[in-house]
Amino acid sequence: MIFLFLLIGTVIGLLLPGYLINTLLGNKGDTGASFILSTVLLFQIIFLIGILGAPINLITVGSVLLCLDSVFYLVCRKKKLPLKLELAKVNIKLTDYFLLLPIALLILLIFLRSAFFKMPMGDKIFRWYLLAQRIFETETFSFYPPLSAGDFNLYFYPESFPPIVSFCYFWLYALAGKANTSLTAILVVIQYGLILLYAVKLSQSLTLSKTANNLTLLLLGSSSLLFYSSLLGQESGLTTLSLMALSYYLARSAQSKQLSDIILAAFSASLGTLCREYGLIFVGFGVIILLWRKTSFKHCLIYLGTCAILALPWYIRTTLLTHNPFYSNPISDLFPVNPVLVGILNAYKNTIGLASYFNLPAFKELLFESSMALGIPFFLGLCAAFIYFRRLGAYALIILMFIALWIYSIWIPGGIYHSLRIVAPAIALASVCAAFLLNKLIEKKAVGVFFNNSYFVVILHSFISCQFLCSIHSLETTRRRYFRRRRNKAASGTYSGFKEIFAKHSPGRCCFN
Over residues 48-63, mean pLDDT: 95
pLDDT above 60 (res 249): yes
Is 0.95 topped by the overall pTM?
no
SS3 state of residue 370: helix
| Region label for 359, one of left (φ > 0), alpha (ψ between -120 and 50) or beta (otherwise) | beta
Q: Is the predicted pLDDT of residue 255 greater than 90, yes or no?
A: no
What are the tens digits of pLDDT across the range 394-417? 999 999 999 999 988 887 777 788
Instruction: State the chain's mean pLDDT as an integer.
Output: 83
For residues 40 and 270, the answer to whether their CB atoms sit within 8 Å is yes
Question: Which tops the pLDDT comparison, 445 or 427?
Answer: 427
- Nearest of 152, 135, 132 to residue 328 by alpha carbon: 152
What distance, in Å, lies between the first and last C-alpha atoms of the chain? 35
Residue 252 CA from chain centroid, whole number: 21
- Give residue 439's pLDDT: 87
The yes-or-no verdict on residue 298 having pLDDT over 70 is yes
Pairwise CA distance, residues 301 & 315, whole Å: 20
The pLDDT, as a whole number, for residue 242 is 96
CA 130, CA 124: separation in Å to the nearest integer? 7
Percentage of the chain modeled with pLDDT above 90: 50
CA–CA gap between residue 192 and residue 63 (Å, rounded): 29
Q: Are 292 and 306 in contact (CB under 8 A)?
A: no
Q: pLDDT, tens digit, for every residue of 84-130?
A: 765 555 556 666 677 778 888 888 889 988 888 777 667 888 888 99
- Does residue 328 have a cis peptide bond before it, meaning omega lies within 30 degrees of 0? yes
User: What pLDDT is attached to residue 269?
Assistant: 96
What single-letter amino acid sits at 466?
C
What is the predicted pLDDT for the residue at 205? 92
Residue 472 confidence (pLDDT): 40
Q: Which of 358, 30, 443 is nearest to 197 (CA)?
A: 30
Task: State mean pLDDT over 39-59.
Answer: 96
Q: Tell me, what's the pLDDT at 512?
A: 37
Residue 172 burial (C-beta neighbours within 10 Å; 0-12, 13-18, 19+): buried
* Tens digits of residue pLDDT in 436-467: 998 888 887 665 544 555 555 555 555 444 44
Any idea which of 92-106, 158-172, 479-493 has the lowest mean pLDDT? 479-493
Q: Which of 425, 409, 416 is nearest to 369 (CA)?
A: 416
pLDDT band with cut points at 50, 70 and 90 for residue 266: very high
What was the pLDDT predicted at 354?
Answer: 81
DSSP 87: P
What pLDDT is stored for residue 510 in this prediction? 36
**Are the C-beta atoms of 431 and 244 separated by less than 8 Å?**
no
pLDDT at 170 over 50: yes
Count of alpha carbons within 13 angstroms of residue 49, beta-carbon side: 23
CB-count burial class (<10 Å; 0-12, 13-18, 19+) for 418: middle
Lowest mean pLDDT among 26-40, 267-281, 348-362, 376-390: 348-362
Q: Cα separations (Å) of 286 from 251, 295, 310, 431, 441? A: 11, 11, 15, 19, 29
pLDDT at 40: 96
286-290, 340-344, 464-468: range with lowest mean pLDDT: 464-468
Would the pLDDT of 138 be above 90? yes
pLDDT, tens only, 176-199: 999 988 899 999 999 999 999 999
Nearest to 223 by CA among 43, 423, 388, 438: 423
504 band by pLDDT with thresholds 50, 70 and 90? very low
Q: Is it the case that residue 488 has pLDDT exceeding 60?
A: no
Segment among 3-12, 84-93, 206-215, 288-297 with least mean pLDDT: 84-93
Which pLDDT band holds residue 26 (cuts at 50, 70, 90)? confident
